[in-house]
Structure 1
Amino acid sequence: MEITVLYFASYKENSGIDKENLVLDSERNFMLSDILKVILTKHPKIPTPQEKIVAAVNEEYQPHNHKVYDGDIIALIPPVSGG
């Protein structure tokens, strides 16, 4: 299975890239939470705890228990703060 991951704002800065393709074992089903674990292991400079990461799959925000399929595009959006 191959998916595309898009990094925005601080995620782009901390990973050093704006986009990458991940190739995963196609013999199992992956949830978004599994993909986030892979990403955080691969890019340890991303400081956001996994449970706080907001992600869109194919341009729609999804919960972490969303199933991910071959060809999906996952966009990682950092938490918004301000006042």
Structure 2
Amino acid sequence: MEKGVRQLQYLGYHVVVRNSGGLAVVLDDGVLNISLVLPDVRHISIHDCYEAMVSLIKSMLSDVTNDIEAYEIVGSYCPGGL
């Protein structure tokens, strides 16, 4: 892992290592990848996690727009997208 991080940094990428989930994804320009860390939460369904992220994004952007949709993007890096 350390060798991969160093290589990506050498290529000019900002690297963040998550403790779980997803593949190693180099993001396209204009794409923001957010991880929601819920301390002390041990058992929560993937559906509840997804809904928590949707709520967070809607709240973060509420001053800009109320037109936020959550749906699956077929062929995306992950099974869902905003």
Q: TM-score range by the shorter chain?
A: 0.3 to 0.5
The higher radius of gyration belongs to 2
Which structure's relative contact order is higher, taking Cα pairs within 8 Å and 6+ residues apart? 1
TM-score (norm 2): 0.36
TM-score (norm 1): 0.36
